[in-house]
Amino acid sequence: MKIKSRFSYVFMIALSTALVVTGSAWNTPTAQAANVFSDNFESGNAGNWSSTTGTWNVVQDGGSYVYSQSGNTEGRTSAGSSSWSDYSVQADVKIDDFNGNNRTYVSGRYVDGNNYYAASISNSNGGTLEIRKKVSGSSTTLASKTDIPITAGTVYTVKLEMNGSSINMYLNGVLQLNAHDNILTSGGIGLIAYKTAAKFDNVIVDGADGTTPTPTPTVAPTTAPTPTTAPTATPAPTVTPSPTVVPTTGPTATPVPTSPPVSNALYVSPEGSAGNAGTLGSPTTLSSAITRVTPGGTIYMRGGNYSFSSPVTVERDNSGSPGQRKSIAAYGNEKPVLDFSAESFGSTERGLQIFSHYWHVKGLEVKGAGDNGIFIGGNYNIVENVEVHHNRDSGLQISRYSSSLSNMSDWPSYNEIINVYSHDNFDPDNGEDADGFAAKLTIGPGNVFDKCIAAWNTDDGWDLYTKSETGPIGVVTIKNSIAYKNGQTSDGNTTSNSDGNGFKLGGEKIAVNHIVQNSVAFQNKKHGFTYNSNPGSIQLSNNTSWSNGQSNFAFDTGTHLFTGNLSFAGGASDKTSGTDVQSSNVWWKSGKSVNAKGLVASSSDFVSLTPSVVRNANGTISLGNFLKLAGGSDLIGSGTPNGTNIGATFQ
């Protein structure tokens, strides 16, 4: 097999991860095993790549063909598969001209020019290495290191490695930086020269097993044994809330089937005994199984009602690992219901408490707790396709598990809440604490809510409150989610202290730059979306807020960033302190629709304004025609980027 003379080797041959910088010359690698993808550009063209900005050409450099970006603006080019998830991408990089102190990236999970992770090198501050992310056009540095000599004309081997939420950066085969982020889960690769003149060669993509990477599943396998007692899934009803009609509390989700592994599984049932083996024929109890399951193992819960009079706790020292989560999952199509109604009202009377790390809870129903239905105090946990309701505090809360933890580094971080429905939570004391979801007071970075519903809670749908005693919390991301009819329960319970906001995004004048994307608030008692005195730069993009009691958007002060949001038929005028990105927002002010470019919204812009929320069996959400833009609406394609609709979009 032909080895490239001064830099890389023939297509589909791996590069050594221990290269040595040799001044301005390209390094000579040694051949290793086959890769998922490789390009050394010795063909003289870049047929595997798609450039979107900059000036890209395959040129000769020292006798080798390399991929060159020669412009002085941002140059971007990409390749690979959108389905790649956990993999590494490596390239040799030579920067001919920094044009000041600009950066050059090797990118992974590259979706487009506005969404990717990157290993960055620059000559600023004596040489800087960074792990960066760009999401919805906004860039963030996740980790950095300075005083690393980076000079023009020198070849550096730069590698970005992504495994779940863990991201590593290597320089010349040496691990330099680690970060954690779970916003982007899959995508191809990219080469980016941000205002630099740079050359790239020997681009290598390696998967964990040398095969094409695929997205890491967040659900259990879909082939399941058929339990003899499995009920038939009931289609989710349509919820049509009305001020004068008490609707149903919402659809009930039936978990998708799961398949027990051959080994490392424990089974529990309402009739199980703690001393039983935990087999399908001799099930144990949930509390016993939690102490016995090993990393990578799953606790399968049979259907039925599990009655508890005290919390079920996963203790701090009972963790899984990044590639070996511990799981609690519904068995097949059966519905396990964790019923804590026997608990007394009080702060120590929670339902399921997860103080540890790397757990995955899926397909359960949790109700009736004296405080939170589910409480998360650990890191890297996933709660998926769960219904939590009629608890006497917030349905699901993320906060520190011990008051002794005063540093944010010890607070719960990088947890994912996916397809969870939290409703009818009622605080019998004063109504101020029962939110659908509370990520507040003491949480770290990276917590994400995706495709969740908060409805009919006596306080707020989401509460991201901060307090002066503990200071700022980590940035929370909420996306593809819905908050409606908060401020009272579905049977009319409310108090004078019930706030009733859809998305409450701060507290006590402490700045935290939360992110809310493609979400909907309607018919909440107070505001649809509110900064709640957060003076920071909250990013709100492509959200829809309709017919909320006081106002649809309440952002009185701050430098918030608004992109493509839609407000219609609210109470008081929207308050929108911050930047109206490219005049892409349509507001509701003084009883009429307002837009800086002259766009207006009316009832004819919507297919339907009759509320309809359907939660499907797998936890996903459908609004049908409700708030869907009608054909011919001038709001279609009028957002930013060009061609993007204004407001939220649900299938």
Residue of 371, 377, 409 whose CA lies nearest to 391: 371
Q: SS3 for 444-458, per residue? A: CCCEEEECCEEECCC
The span from the CA of 455 to the CA of 463, in Å, is 13
Of the candidates 504, 525, 526, 575, the residue annotated as catalytic is: 504
For residue 423, which amino acid is it?
H
The span from the CA of 518 to the CA of 290, in Å, is 36
Distances (CA, A) of 5 to 47, 507, 642: 22, 61, 45
The answer to whether 502 and 548 have CB atoms below 8 angstroms apart is: yes
Is 2 buried (19+), middle (13-18) or exposed (0-12) by CB count in 10 A?
A: exposed
The span from the CA of 93 to the CA of 123, in Å, is 13
Q: Is 529 helix (H, G, I), strand (E, B) or coil?
A: strand
504 has catalytic annotation: yes
Q: How many CA atoms lie within 13 A of 570 on its CB side?
A: 32
With residue 291 as reference, give the H or E element that holds it. helix 286-292
The answer to whether 192 and 73 have CB atoms below 8 angstroms apart is: no
Q: SS3 for 28-87, per residue? A: CCCCCCCCCEEECCCCCCCCCCEEEECCEEEEEECCEEEEEECCCCEEEEEECCCCCCCE
Tell whether omega for the bond before 149 is within 30 degrees of 0, i.e. cis. Answer: no
Q: Is 572 helix (H, G, I), strand (E, B) or coil?
A: coil
User: Helix, strand, coil % (nearest 5) of the chain?
Assistant: 5, 40, 60
Residue of 492, 599, 590, 603 whose CA lies nearest to 546: 603
* Cα-based torsion angle of the residue sequence 513, 515, 521, 526 in order, rounded to the nearest 10 degrees: -10
Residues annotated as catalytic are 504
